[in-house]
Amino acid sequence: MTPQQLVIEIERLVSLPDVCVKVNRLIDAPDYSATTLGDLISQDTDLSARLLRLVNSAFFNFEAPVETISRAIIVVGTNELRNLVMATTAARIFTGIPEDLVDMAEYWRYSITTAVMAGALAKRCNVLHAERLFVMGVLHDIGRLAIYLKLPREARDILLITGGDDALLPETEYDILGFTHMDVGEALLRKWKLPESIISVVAYHHRPAAATAFQLETALLHLASVLAYAEISGADLEEVCERVDAGIWLSTGLQGDEIESLLEETPQQVAEIMDVVLAPKTKTAAKPA
């Protein structure tokens, strides 16, 4: 089985909501308008409510409340909002994964912590459209969920061998499967027609030195994932930073002593976004587009 074949197989188990498919098609059309996009998203009251809560969260920190989807498109941007649609939806479509393979709440806590850290690091490095890094963080390990869902027996072997050490994960996956969760994530996000920047960073987040494009974004996401692990596991931050490859610090221009202040803001933002992503489906009517 190849990563592409696995993605085709899970389509029978995991499918994007109709609104996501339509959003992708609309944005790919040459003559779409922001108004039409807002009207389309607003038809899904649950998705609209989640997007507005997310855009109004501490992560974006806009001065004035964003009360409509059309306003969200203006302040966030069309492509960034499309990416947020996909990231917000991802947490709701992967169901039925055996609990002994992954605690889904902990999985999303790690992914969202990575996302918040990646966004904060991107802003510190003056990266344009830092929201992209947030989406990259949310989706960076999505290939693991696809493997858990379709290949649970092999996934158990991989987890047994790695013993929770993510540094061993890519090599172990390749030995057992012939590909890695990065390969699967790349194939899945390409199927979802996400931007090449997101696909590329997800494909190389464990080996940023090998990235030939979007190198800064890849380095930032790699660093964010390491810091997220430290935050969640309670590992010593100084020791974790010392283990980060020197090339990451060089390429980002960041220093270890800059990280601590960023981490102080992370828990509140993560808790707020977790509440948006994992909350039960709402039936509250959305505001007009």
Within a domain: 69: no
pLDDT given at position 284: 47
In Å, what is the CA distance from 289 to each residue of 32, 33, 38, 40, 148? Answer: 15, 13, 5, 9, 37
DSSP state of 67: -
Within a domain: 204: yes
In the structure, how many helices (H) and strands (E) does the chain have?
A: 17, 0
pLDDT given at position 218: 96
CB 23 within 8 A of CB 60: no
Q: What are phi and psi of 214, to 5 degrees?
A: 50, 45
d(CA 55, CA 32): 22
Q: Is the dihedral of CA 195, 201, 204, 209 positive or negative?
A: positive
Within a domain: 165: yes
Within a domain: 147: yes
Amino acid at 128: L
| Of 225, 265, 261, the residue nearest 245 (C-alpha) | 225
Within a domain: 283: no
With residue 80 as reference, give the H or E element that holds it: helix 78-93
d(CA 43, CA 49): 11
CB 199 within 8 A of CB 190: yes
Within a domain: 90: no
Amino acid at 24: N
- Listed in sequence order, the residues at least 6 apart from 160 whose beta carbon sits closer than 8 Å to its beta carbon are none
In Å, what is the CA distance from 2 to each residue of 11, 19, 247? Answer: 14, 28, 31
DSSP state of 164: T
Supply the range of the domain harboring residue 112.
3-14+98-278
237-276 in b/e form (b: 16+ CB < 10 A) is eeebbeebeeebeebbebeeeebeebbeebeebbebbbeb
| Of 53, 59, 47, the residue nearest 85 (C-alpha) | 47
DSSP state of 167: G
d(CA 200, CA 111): 17
Within a domain: 79: no
Tell me, what CATH number does 167's domain have?
1.10.3210.10
Structure tokens at 288: 């007009």
d(CA 48, CA 45): 5
pTM of the complete model: 0.89
CB 58 within 8 A of CB 269: yes
Going residue by residue through the chain, which has 289 residues, state the pLDDT in tens, using 9 for 90 and above: 899 999 998 887 787 888 888 888 888 887 878 888 889 999 899 889 989 999 998 888 888 999 999 899 888 888 888 888 888 888 888 888 988 999 999 999 999 999 999 999 998 898 888 888 999 999 999 999 999 999 999 999 999 999 988 889 999 999 999 999 999 999 999 998 888 999 999 999 999 999 999 999 999 999 999 999 888 888 888 888 888 899 999 999 988 777 877 777 788 889 889 888 887 765 544 454 5
Domain count, the chain: 1
d(CA 225, CA 134): 12
DSSP state of 171: H
pLDDT given at position 289: 56
Within a domain: 26: no
